[in-house]
Amino acid sequence: MINWQRYTAMFKRLELPPTDLTGQHILISGGNDGIGLEAAIHLARTNAQITIASRNAQKSKQAVEKIIKLTGNAQIDYEVLDLSCYASVKAFTSRFKSKNTKLDCLINNSGVVNHQFKLSEDGIEQTLQVNYLSPILLTLSLLPLLKKSENPRIVMTSSDLHLDTTLELPKDLESNEKDYVGMYAYAKSKLMSAIVARTLAVKLLSQGISTYSVHPGFVKTDIGKHDLPDTLFYQSFGYFYRFLQNLYGRKGEQGGISTAYMAVGKDLENGGYYDSCEKALENPQTSDEKLGEELWKETLRLIGVNESD
């Protein structure tokens, strides 16, 4: 059966409901560019305090200035965070917790598509670490601040590409260069994000913390453009993909609404997967509790965290 919602959603014009988030603090990883920046602009208009966390300090400073200029909200700041390095995640969370008493919404927005195999500083395939493992380490480290919010939310960025893959454990958590294909690795990292959103929704329910996953939509961004192998196939693929982005991709502020909605939407399904501000069809593996628990245990092992911590 064809999932028509998946293909019609990209043509839907989105709007955020009027919302006042005065007194709330939202953290967005990767908020200095692309989807994250547009989401930050939307959320700044709700009068929330916004922190963007990215590895490039100069771009982040420029993004903060842009957000303040566009929205008039001066409660915008940035922190340096490199998700390809566990030490950077730990240093960031230490600084963040020393400066803040609570966090209302964590949006794990940062992402990468590597067409060529790369290992992180921690010896882990970089797509897996940046898109999935480090966001979980970040999330767990910030739970003490989230627990102090009246309505805390965690948002995991997934993708509709999670519908096109299957998770195989422990194989897909092994950093193996053999048979590596960048888009496959990306899709699997996004499936893991959707699965873990379901798992966290259950584990954190008693603490009043809600967790969701979101497909930002087909958006014109620079992700995946920078390391295409110099072969006819990959260069042709890159050209065709950019053509589709220019033709159909959401641009400007439309590109950040799906993500921003997860911070303001009402009556959302805890653990649910959303696309274009609507509950969307998920990969059946997201409902496999046994798989979710196995993924969770392996995730904790890879990020060096004990469940009892």
Selecting among 86, 186, 273, 274, the annotated active-site residue is 186
DSSP string, 260-305: HHHHH-SSPPTT-EEETTEE----GGGG-HHHHHHHHHHHHHHHT-
> Which residue from 37, 36, 44 is spatially nearest to 16, judged by alpha carbons?
44
d(CA 140, CA 222): 29
Sign of the dihedral defined by the CA atoms of residues 161, 38, 93, 289, in that order: negative
Decide if 25 contacts 79 (C-beta within 8 A): no
What is the C-alpha separation between 212 and 85, in angstroms, rounded? 24
User: Residue 186 catalytic?
Assistant: yes
- Give the pairing of strands 278-279 and 273-275: antiparallel
- Tell me which amino acid residue 164 is: D
Active site residue ranges: 186
